[in-house]
Chains A and B, each alone.
Chain A
Amino acid sequence: MPLPLLNYIAFSGIFILLSWAIYLPYRCGQLYLAPVYSMATGAYFAAYVTTEWNWPIVLAILSSPFVGAFFAFLPALGLRKAPGFTTAIASLALIFIIQTIVMNLKILGGHSGMFGIPALEYPLTTILIVLLVAGIIVYRIDHSRFGRAAELLYYSSEETACFGVNMALVGMLLQVLSGALSGIAGALYAFTVGSVFPGAFSFSMLLVVFSAVFVGGNLTMWGALVFAPILWGLPLILPEAIAEWKDVIYGGLLICILILRPEGVISKETVREVGDGIRKLARMRRRVFG
C-alpha cells in the first residue's frame, strides 16, 4: 500500500475518533473541547511505555483509552453538569494546562518531547479494528437509554430532569467516553508520527475535527465518520494554489452549513432514508432470489 495512502487512512482514523469524542458530549448539548487534552495524555502514555518500559504496542493501544478516560474523569467531576457553552471554555483551559504540564516534566522529554516511538506493524488492520470497535460502542450508546436521555437533554435540561434523568451521570459518562476515544486516538497518533512534543497538541488539531462534526452532521455519528476523511483529505489532494485557501474553505463551510442546514449534511432523516433504502434493497433481493 503506498505510503501517502496509509498515512491518510491513519490520520483519517485518528480524526474520526476525535470527532466522535466531540460528538458524544455534544449529544447532550455540551461543546466539549477537551479531546485534545485527553489525546495528549494517551499519546504521551503510549510514547513513554513503549520507549522507556518496552511495552508491546498492542498493550499500549489497549491501555490508552483507560488513561484518556481517567484524565477526562477528573475534570468531568466539575464539568458534567455545566451548561453547553461554559464547557467550551473550561475544556479549553485543559488544553493550556496539559501543554504546560508536559512541557515541564523532564521524564516526558520536556520541551523536546519524545521521539523514536516504534511504528505500527500492521497499521491498516490496527486502525480499522480500533475504528470498528469504537464505532460499535458509539452506536450502542447512541441507541441506548443513555443516548435517548442525552438527546432529550440537548433540547431542554429542565424538562428532561422531570423525567428522572440524572444529568450529572449522563454528562459524566459522555465525557469519560470522549476521553477514552481521544486517548486511543493519541496513542495511534504517537505510533503513526513517531514523535510527540508539547506543541503537537494544540488548537489546530481541533479545526478538522470541529468542521467534521458541525459540517458533517452533529446529531448522528455518521456525519463525523464520512466527513472527517473528506475534510482532512481535501487540502492534501487539491493543488497548492487552492489548498492555501483551506482556512477560508473550512470557515466558509461552517458558515454555510449553519445557515442552510444546521444539523449538518448527514442528519437523522438522511440516516433514516439511507437505512430505509438499504432495507428496501434487502427486501427486493429476498424477493428475487427467494
Chain B
Amino acid sequence: MLKKKIERIFVCLFGLLLSVSFVIAPAIGAEPVVKEWKVPSLIFLTGPYAGFGKQIKWGTDEAAAEINAAGGIAGRPLVIEWYDTGMDPAKAAAEMSKVVKSLTIFGPVGAPNCKGALPLVVREKGFAMTVDSGAEVVSEFFPYTIHNSDMFERVTPPATRGWAKRNPQMKTVIQFVFPFDPTFTDVANYQAKTLEAQGIKVLPNVEISESVDLASAVIKAMGQKPDGFTIVTLPMDGAKIIKELDKRGVKDKSRVLTFPVVDDQSFFDLAKGYIDGLYIWHFQNVLSKSPRWQAFNAKWRKAFPDSQYATFGTVCHYDMVYMFKAAVEKLGITGDPTKVVEERNKIREYCRNVKGFPGLQYNFDMVDGLGKTPTFLFRIENGERKLVETYPPIK
C-alpha cells in the first residue's frame, strides 16, 4: 500500500518536472530584445572543475555589473545568459546549437568543450570569444574565435630561457607532462626545444598517469638523475609531484620550473612549505601595481576568502566583457536582429585586431585573433612570490 503511494508520488513529481520543462521550452529561440544586450556565455558549472568555472563566472558577472552600474553598453544594460557545458563535448555542442546564431558568444571554456562546440561556430560562421582555453586548441577554429594569449610556441621560450640562465649548472632536464590534453604536450615540446637550444639535454618526458599517487612518475624521473625538472601538469598533480620530489631528496626547488596552469591557489594550498626557490612562469602578473587590478583583487578576496589572487581565466573573461563593450560602442552596433550577421562580422574583426586594449593588468594588442601578452617569471623566496623577469610580447 505504502509502496503504491510512493510510486504515485514519484510519478506525479516526474510528470511535474516534465510539464515544467515543456512550459519553459518555448522560451528558447525567442528573439533577442533590442532593449538589452543579451549575450550567451558557455562555461562548466557542473563536473569535476565546477569550482574553477564558478570563479570564471564570477569574473564575467563582476564585469557586467560594473558596466551596468556605469550606464551599460551604449546606454543599454548587459544581460549575460549562462549555459552549463560541464566538461562534456556533447553537452557543449548541444548548448552551442541553442546560441550559435547570437551576435556574440562568451566562451566556451576548456579544450573538450571547445572541440565539441566550436566546429558548429565554424559551420555557422558565428563568433565565440573563447579567451582562455589554450591558443593552440582554439586557433584550429580561427577566424571565428579569439584567444587572449599568444600561441604557446611563441611565449614559452623566453621564460624557459630565463630559468635556464638562472641555473647555469643544469646539464640535463626532465619534464613531467599531463598527457591527456594536447596543450600540455605542446608546451612541454616547446620548453624542450628551447632548453636544447641552450645546450641542455632534455630527457624523454615522464607522462603522469591518472592515478591517486604520482610517486612512480617521480621515481622514474629521478632514476635518470636529471639536474632540473619542469612540471607541465594540473595544479593538484603539480603539488603531489613537488612533495614527492622533496621527499626523495630534491630540496633546492630552483631546479624546478612550473608552467602557467600549475600557478593556482589549489597548488599553493597543497604544496605549502615545499616550494621555496620554485620558479613559475605565467601570462599574468599577480603582483601588478595597476590600480584596477588591485581593486579587482580586493573584491575577489571578499568573494573567495580562501584564495589570494584572481585566476588568469577570471581576468581574461573580465577583460573579454570589456572588449565586447569596446567593440559595440566604437563600431556603433545597434543589436538589430535583422542586421546580426553584418554586425557580428564587424565585432569579430574588431576583437581580432584591436590595438592597445586596456586589460586589467596591462594593455595588449590583438593580432589576427591572438592576444600579444607579456610573460613573467616568478620565484618563491621565503614563502613569498617575487617577480624575477618580464618578457615583452613576441611580435
**So, do A and B actually touch in the complex, CB under 8 Å?**
yes
Across the interface, which residues of A come within 8 angstroms of B140, CB to CB? 112, 115
Instruction: Provide the main secondary structure of the chain A interface.
Output: helix
Please state if A240 and B84 are interface contacts (CB–CB under 8 Å): yes
Q: Which residues of B contact A240 (CB under 8 A)?
A: 45, 82-84
Chain B: CB-nearest residue to A233: B21
Q: Is the interface of B mostly helix, strand, loop or mixed?
A: helix
Q: Does A166 interact with chain B (Cβ within 8 Å)?
A: no
CA distance A244 to B7 in the complex (A): 25
Chain B positions within 8 Å of A199 at CB level: 89, 111-112, 115, 180-181
| Contacting residues, chain B, for A200 (C-beta < 8 A) | 89-90, 112, 115-116
Do the beta carbons of A244 and B84 come within 8 Å of each other? yes
Is the beta-carbon distance between A8 and B94 smaller than 8 angstroms? yes
Distance between B107 CB and nearest chain A CB, rounded to angstroms? 14
- Could you tell me the distance between the alpha carbons of A266 and B80 in the complex, rounded to whole angstroms? 40
**Within 8 Å CB of A260, what residues of B?**
3, 6-7, 10
Q: Would you call B86 and A204 a contact (CB within 8 A)?
A: yes
Known: A8-B94, A260-B3. A113 touches B24 (CB 8 A): no
Report the minimal beta-carbon distance from B68 to chain A, rounded to whole angstroms: 20
Known contacts A240-B83, A260-B6, A115 near B115 by CB under 8 Å: yes
Find out whether the CB atom of A115 lies under 8 angstroms from the CB atom of B95: no
Chain B residue contacts of A223, Cβ below 8 A: none
Q: How near does chain B come to A75, taking the closest CB pair, in angstroms? A: 22
Q: Are the C-beta atoms of A111 and B97 separated by less than 8 Å?
A: no
Q: Is the CB of B182 within 8 A of A110?
A: yes
Q: Are A204 and B88 in contact (CB under 8 A)?
A: yes
In the bound complex, CA of A6 to CA of B94 (Å)? 9
**B119 and A193 form a contact (CB under 8 A):** yes
Contacting pair A237 B115 (CB below 8 A): no
Further pairs besides A115-B141, A234-B17, A237-B28: 15, Cβ < 8 Å: A3-B124, A11-B90, A110-B182, A112-B182, A115-B119, A193-B116, A193-B120, A195-B119, A204-B88, A234-B21, A238-B17, A243-B84, A247-B46, A256-B10, A260-B10
Q: Which residues of B contact A (CB under 8 A)?
A: 3, 6-7, 10, 17-18, 20-22, 24-25, 28-29, 45-47, 82-84, 86-91, 93-95, 97-98, 100-101, 111-112, 115-116, 118-120, 122-124, 137, 140-141, 179-182, 185
| 4 closest cross-chain pairs (CB), A and B | A194-B119, A7-B97, A111-B182, A237-B21
List A residues at the B interface (Cβ < 8 Å): 2-4, 6-8, 11, 103, 110-113, 115-117, 119, 189, 192-195, 197-200, 204-205, 230, 233-240, 243-244, 246-247, 256, 260-261
